[in-house]
Amino acid sequence: MNNYGTILIVDDNPSILTALRYCLDTTFSRILTLDKPEDILKTMAQESIDLVLLDMNFTLGVNNGQEGLLWLRTIRKHHPQMPVVLLTAYADVSLAVRGLKSGAADFIVKPWDNTELVRKLKDVLDMQGEIVTLDEMEADHIRRTIDHCHGNLSKAAELLGITRQTLYNKIKRL
């Protein structure tokens, strides 16, 4: 069942690393762990990694998530396509939003539910492999444009740069 490749888990708490290793053992073929974020880029240069699970706080007594956001931006700068899931015990909505805006694929709160954690990590990786066809992209764009125009097909056709008849024909294929 462990067909989801290699995960890199970065957390300063050895108990968390051990718990995650046991939890994810049947999902991932390889589980790499680091207790210091300073080793992330070196490890990523030496290993083929499919997903990073990154803690948000590494300094004792600091729980604002800034360290995790810094390391998230660092990973995204050097490996822009790498999915990173953030992990923290000190979650709030604004921190989650900042993480997602900085490029995180998802956000998990400690203590986590094992089933939910595995589902989220699988979902992130499954979405990486999803390729949308041009027809699907066009259909989605047409739907959003029509919604934006509150159903006014003449206005939607104008915004799309096509004739109303062409829009009708495309709608028939949706």
Mean pLDDT of 96-109: 85
Round to whole Å and give the CA distance between 78 and 97.
22
More confident of the two residues 144 and 39: 39
The total of other beta-carbon atoms located within 10 Å of residue 103's CB is 16
How high is the mean pLDDT of the chain? 88
Amino acid at 100: L
Tell me what pLDDT residue 102 has. Answer: 85
- 76 burial level (CB within 10 Å; 0-12, 13-18, 19+): middle
Q: What's the token pair of residue 29? A: 């073929």
Is residue 2 within 8 A of residue 24, CB to CB? The reply is no
Q: How confident is the model at residue 32 (pLDDT cuts 50, 70, 90)?
A: very high
Tell me which range, 24-33, 97-106, 136-145, is most confidently predicted by mean pLDDT: 24-33
Tell me what pLDDT residue 33 has. Answer: 97
Tell me what pLDDT residue 132 has. Answer: 58
**Strand ranges of the sheet holding 30-34, from the earlier edge strand across to the other edge:** 30-34, 6-10, 51-55, 84-88, 106-109
Q: Among 114, 95, 130, which residue's Cα sits nearest to residue 19?
A: 114
Answer yes or no: is pLDDT of 4 > 60.
Answer: yes
Mean pLDDT of 32-40: 96
Tell me what pLDDT residue 15 has. Answer: 96
Q: How confident is the model at residue 34 (pLDDT cuts 50, 70, 90)?
A: very high
Q: Among 110, 170, 113, which residue's Cα sits nearest to residue 136?
A: 170
Mean pLDDT of 122-144: 79
Mean pLDDT of 133-154: 84
